[in-house]
Chains A and B, each alone.
Chain A
Amino acid sequence: MLKNRIIPCLDVKNGRVVKGINFVDLKDAGDPVEQAKIYSDGGADEICFLDITASNEKRDTIYDVVKKTSKKCFVPLTVGGGVRSVEDINKLLNCGADKVSINTAAVENSKVVIDSSKKFGSQCIVVAIDAKKDGDKWEVFTHGGRNNSGIDALEYAEKMENNGAGELLVTSMDRDGTQVGYDIELMSKISSRVNIPVIASGGVGNLDHLVDGIKLGKASAVLAASIFHYGKHSVKEAKEYMDSKGIPVRI
């Protein structure tokens, strides 16, 4: 039976791990390579690096981080943040990333998703959707949550599936950093709309939220950062808890 995945996410800035609250208020919390190794040894099903300031600053540091991590961690590694082109994707894959997540570039130029999934295969193309609720719909935001594209998130999700995305990483902008739980309605609506796996992100504050993301949000995988990162819970604890709630996980 296929297991639901738990994916710790490390926000990386200038080669160091940070985690923002609503994308600001950054705290330095360690070396990404060591952190990733701790997670993979602890049973993380995948590791995700998000290069949060990549759009604005020199991003060569992330290549070095990915290179070092991929020589130490033998679980899938997803890298995102500031990925603009097929060439950026190629570089990250060559450094040892297994999947690359594309956010702003996918909104601005759908050819990036079409071309890269053709060139490298859908299995390594993750489209990251940052969505914010507006009335009874959700809109897609770009540039780390700063710009509203005005695009309907559900329609966009379906379009990205058709363009060749292998997975969708859906983050609720309203919930990110709040620790009040995933936007379950958003997750379940997108998951029902597409036939590719959805990774739920944004808002995890306790282990029940992870359970809800799978059970109610219909996500295939749950991504979380601070809940693991500051030692509140280990990945192992999270898995044992999810298992006790009847969710299939790899233990």
Chain B
Amino acid sequence: MNVTIVDYKSGNISSVINSFEEVAKDKVNIEVTSDLNKIKSSDKVVLPGQGSFKSCVEALNNINGLTDILNEFAITNKKPLLGICVGLQMFADIGYEETETKGLGWISGKVQKIDNQNGKYKLPHIGWNQINVVKESKIFKDIKNKSHMYFVHSYEFIPGDKNVISATTDYSSNIVCSVEKENIFGTQFHPEKSDKLGLKILENFIKI
């Protein structure tokens, strides 16, 4: 099996690579690339994302044909795809970080700044927070409700259809931290930095 981590030259993806390699051992081939043919022929795709919504979308668009291939992979062919952090946020129709930017539009909704209640809550939301599992998700197999995961973000995804939400976390408000829509999975937290439980989530994704 081939799992491709999309390297679209935005942000630091070494931790994502390290953690997938740790989980994959020798059984699964982990490919890190922006090569369109490799992505196309891959069994699963991981879409990481660091930095702003705008910079990530721009970086995706900078690679000719990449969004088309991702659309074909996730929407037409319905193959499993995992978005992490801004990778998840880009599923939205639109994001408001820096400026209004169009997302991939895979899961209807918007990405907006977390309400810090006039400075009562620090932003970014950094650190370990518990997840409230609100529906069964394939990536949460053997993950207990209220498990701790590592977060670092200032913006949140607000999906139009609440049925896609698989977990939330409590901060200044109830924040969506995981989604599942058919073959599309996303986590706002960083499984690659969430120690053993985070690695378990990555393993679950590989095993789908």
Chain A residues at the B interface, C-beta cutoff of 8 Å = 1-5, 40, 45, 70-71, 74-76, 93-98, 119-124, 166-167, 195-197, 220-221, 250
Contact = CB atoms under 8 A, between A and B. Distances in A.
B199 A74 contact: yes
Interface in B111-156: 116, 119, 122-130, 148, 150-154
Given A1-B170, A74-B194, A197-B124, A121 B14 contact: no
Contacts of A1: 129-130, 170
A74 B198 contact: yes
22 contacts: A1-B129, A5-B128, A70-B14, A74-B22, A74-B194, A74-B196, A75-B195, A76-B152, A93-B14, A96-B18, A98-B15, A119-B51, A120-B51, A121-B55, A123-B50, A123-B124, A167-B124, A195-B123, A196-B124, A197-B122, A197-B126, A220-B126
For chain A, what secondary structure do more than half of its interface residues adopt (helix, strand, loop), or is it mixed? Answer: loop
Contacts of A123: 50, 124, 126, 152-153
A74 to B, nearest CB: 5
Given A75-B195, A220-B126, A2 B12 contact: no
A220 B192 contact: no
B12 A74 contact: no
A94 B128 contact: no
Interface string B147-189: 0101111100000000000000011000000000000000000
Q: Give the size category of B's interface with A.
A: 35 or more
B150 A196 contact: no
Interface of B: 11-12, 14-15, 18-19, 21-22, 50-52, 55, 116, 119, 122-130, 148, 150-154, 170-171, 192-196, 198-199
A124 B12 contact: yes
A167 B152 CA distance: 11
A121 B72 CA distance: 29
A70 B15 contact: yes
A210 to B, nearest CB: 15
A71 B170 CA distance: 30
A98 B122 contact: no
Contact of A94 (B14, B127, B151): B14
B127 A121 contact: no
Contacts of B50: 120-121, 123-124
A98 B127 contact: no
Given A98-B15, A196-B124, 9 more contacts: A2-B128, A3-B128, A71-B18, A75-B193, A98-B193, A123-B50, A195-B119, A196-B123, A197-B126
B124 A76 contact: no
B128 A98 contact: no
A3 to B, nearest CB: 5
Contacts of B129: 1-3
A121 B154 CA distance: 11
* Residue from A70, A75, A196 with most neighbouring chain B CB atoms (10 Å): A75
Contacts of A2: 125, 127-129, 151, 171
B19 A74 contact: yes
* Residue from A74, A119, A124, A166 with most neighbouring chain B CB atoms (10 Å): A74
A119 B150 CA distance: 22
Nearest to A45: B128
B14 A166 contact: no
Contact of B195 (A40, A71, A98, A120): A40
A122 B199 CA distance: 25
Nearest to A98: B15
Contacts of B126: 123, 166-167, 197, 220
